[in-house]
Structure 1
């Protein structure tokens, strides 16, 4: 499991800040690499607020006794004292950002951004959010002058942008995004099959050029590269298990030619599959 995280340490160890309208406690990113599953279970919750953003893959949450799958593009918010019960599976390839915060005006900020009614909100994939998370993490790690105040501003910006994207998700803009979300679901489901992007666009009665351009704006990569990324993530997971040969992995993820798979893997991962296996021993 790859963890990138940073914390604002206070002398009294108190997680609740009543001096600032919003105040950072910690921020980080989880990415499963070797562990098959990671669980978080806090029956009494925490003293502060928590927000999670599923930047990639999916995660599983139990909220009010109901199991729910949060797919990429989802935001999950926990209030102080709320039961927290969720877990990540390596086969879901999750990349999850999280942030803990408090402050005397947090509830008002959440209400202003339509984030006070419920726990799970879908806003779609947006690189600007992950950039803010990364900025907060870096500020907390470097602890330069005024880093606490800057982190608080970034946290407020994060809430405001999430509120904007939540509103946009109910507009015509969102209807277009539903097409892209359907494509993402399809690619994740049938990544090991032969997928022709033009044929897919034609089948959906949409322009291939529009689809490729819109998909790249939405995810940060082209449909073809997105499929390759899924295959490479699956390949790394299978190679990590040490249960399959390189040829078997190639066949499982949709490549008939192991040599071609090796070239694609090296181009996208940086090393050949055989070398990757050696590093994981």
Structure 2
């Protein structure tokens, strides 16, 4: 089986993008989100406490809140916040930014560029009608996500062990892509071993050695990761999300979700409602 090239496995998605003007001082306590978050001061200023680090952000400056980071915002009256939540992954589930030590505060011209891109994303994503303009906007959105990633990665340093993680995922690229495409149904281990032309037992041992968990556990984890994204986006009922991911029993799905994330789907959705 020919391996998928690294370049052909990069995925960039805009999860959410909005702007908001504050008519009074506000404090927002936000939960961990399943995507990277660029927060910008379009006007005014705000103070953010993320991962134990406090940063004061002035007009046309920006911060990057990494995936799975709780944060608190103190926003001044009259300020405008603009944000873009993005998903950037490689080999279907490996978050690109997790492989780097990322700069989290951007001022000067870099902060201005990020603010401009996030504002454009907010405006582009508001087009909902299917028209030629929406199709054009979809292409612009994808380009803007890559522009954000390029700016953030320009000042980043690879983490120790990142190369090893990449190598292990590369060896299973075709399998990981198959799981990603078929995540909404029940995937048999024999399907995955056939992709690499291995016996089921040999495949099981190799997968567990490279990824750290058995194939079945990895698939469950991927289903729950996607469910958490859907819950944070808030567009579908929990029962529909459960069925979409192959769980006809919503109570069983909720139990799995609570076991992994410490809260039930309803609690997580409520906590993720407020980003800014």
TM range (shorter): 0.3 to 0.5
TM-score normalised per structure 2: 0.44
Which protein, 1 or 2, shows the higher relative CO under an 8 Å CA cutoff with sep ≥ 6?
A: 2
